[in-house]
Amino acid sequence: MFENVPMAPPDSILGITEAFNKDTNPRKINLSVGVYKDESGKTPILACVKAAEKKLLETEGSKSYLPIDGMPQYDKLVQEMIFAPQSPLLTAGRVATSQTPSGTAAVRVAADYLHKLFPKATVWMSDPTWPNHPQIFAAAGVATKSYPYFDKVTNGLAFEKMLAALGQIPGGDVVLLHGCCHNPSGIDPTAEQWQAIARVLAQRGVLPLVDFAYQGFGLGLQEDAAGVRALAAQCPEMLVATSYSKNFGLYSERVGSLSVVAATSQAAQAAQSQIKAVIRANYSNPPAHGGAIVATILADPALKAQWEQELAAMRNRILGMRKSFVQTLKAKGVQADFSFIARQTGMFSFSGLSKDQVERLKKEFSIYIVGNGRINVAGMTPGNMDALCTAIAAVL
Catalytic, 307? Answer: no
Rule CB under 6 A: which of 116-135 touch ligand LMR?
Answer: 130, 132
Q: Taking CB under 6 A as the rule, does residue 34 contact ligand LMR?
A: yes
- Which residues, including other chains, have CB under 8 Å from residue 284's CB and lie 6 or more apart? 65, 68
| Residue 90 beta carbon to ligand LMR: minimum distance, rounded to whole angstroms | 28
**Catalytic, out of 124, 130, 194, 307:** 130
In contact, 39 and 31? CB cutoff 8 Å:
no
CA distances from 262 to 41, 232, 235, 379 (A): 43, 10, 9, 39
Instruction: Pick between residue 132 and residue 345 the one whose CB is nearest to ligand LMR.
Output: 132
Q: Taking CB under 6 A as the rule, does residue 147 contact ligand LMR?
A: no
Instruction: Pick between residue 126 and residue 132 the one whose CB is nearest to ligand LMR.
Output: 132
Instruction: Pick between residue 70 and residue 103 the one whose CB is nearest to ligand LMR.
Output: 103
| Residue 17 beta carbon to ligand LMR: minimum distance, rounded to whole angstroms | 9
Q: Taking CB under 6 A as the rule, does residue 136 contact ligand LMR?
A: no
Q: Taking CB under 6 A as the rule, does residue 349 contact ligand LMR?
A: no
The closest of 58, 37, 96 to 296, measured between CA atoms, is 58
| Residue 393 beta carbon to ligand LMR: minimum distance, rounded to whole angstroms | 25
Q: Which of 16, 31, 33, 209 binds ligand LMR (CB under 6 A)?
A: 33
| Residue 65 beta carbon to ligand LMR: minimum distance, rounded to whole angstroms | 26
Kindly state the number of chain residues that form the binding site for ligand LMR, as judged by CB under 6 A: 6
Instruction: Pick between residue 34 and residue 179 the one whose CB is nearest to ligand LMR.
Output: 34
Instruction: Pick between residue 17 and residue 87 the one whose CB is nearest to ligand LMR.
Output: 17
| Residue 380 beta carbon to ligand LMR: minimum distance, rounded to whole angstroms | 15
Question: Residue 127, exposed/middle/buried by CB under 10 A (0-12, 13-18, 19+)?
Answer: middle
CA distances from 181 to 82, 240, 277, 309, 320 (A): 15, 15, 31, 19, 16
Q: Taking CB under 6 A as the rule, does residue 13 contact ligand LMR?
A: yes
- Which residues, including other chains, have CB under 8 Å from residue 348's CB and lie 6 or more apart? 34, 181, 183, 184, 185, 186, 374, 375, 376, 377
Instruction: Pick between residue 135 and residue 144 the one whose CB is nearest to ligand LMR.
Output: 135
Catalytic, 211? Answer: yes
**Catalytic, out of 75, 173, 194, 246:** 246
| Residue 268 beta carbon to ligand LMR: minimum distance, rounded to whole angstroms | 28
Q: In what order do the strands lie in the sheet with 143-148?
A: 95-100, 256-261, 238-243, 207-212, 174-178, 122-127, 143-148
Question: Residue 161, exposed/middle/buried by CB under 10 A (0-12, 13-18, 19+)?
Answer: middle
When CB distances to ligand LMR are compared, the closest residue is 34
CA distances from 248 to 287, 311, 326, 327 (A): 16, 8, 28, 30
| Residue 178 beta carbon to ligand LMR: minimum distance, rounded to whole angstroms | 11
Instruction: Pick between residue 67 and residue 134 the one whose CB is nearest to ligand LMR.
Output: 134
Rule CB under 6 A: which of 176-205 touch ligand LMR?
Answer: 183
In contact, 239 and 262? CB cutoff 8 Å:
no
352 φψ region: left (φ > 0), alpha (ψ -120 to 50), beta (else): left
Give the CA count within 13 Å in the CB-facing half-sphere of 350. Answer: 25
- Residues labelled catalytic: 130, 211, 246
* Site residues (vs ligand LMR, CB under 6 A): 13, 33-34, 130, 132, 183
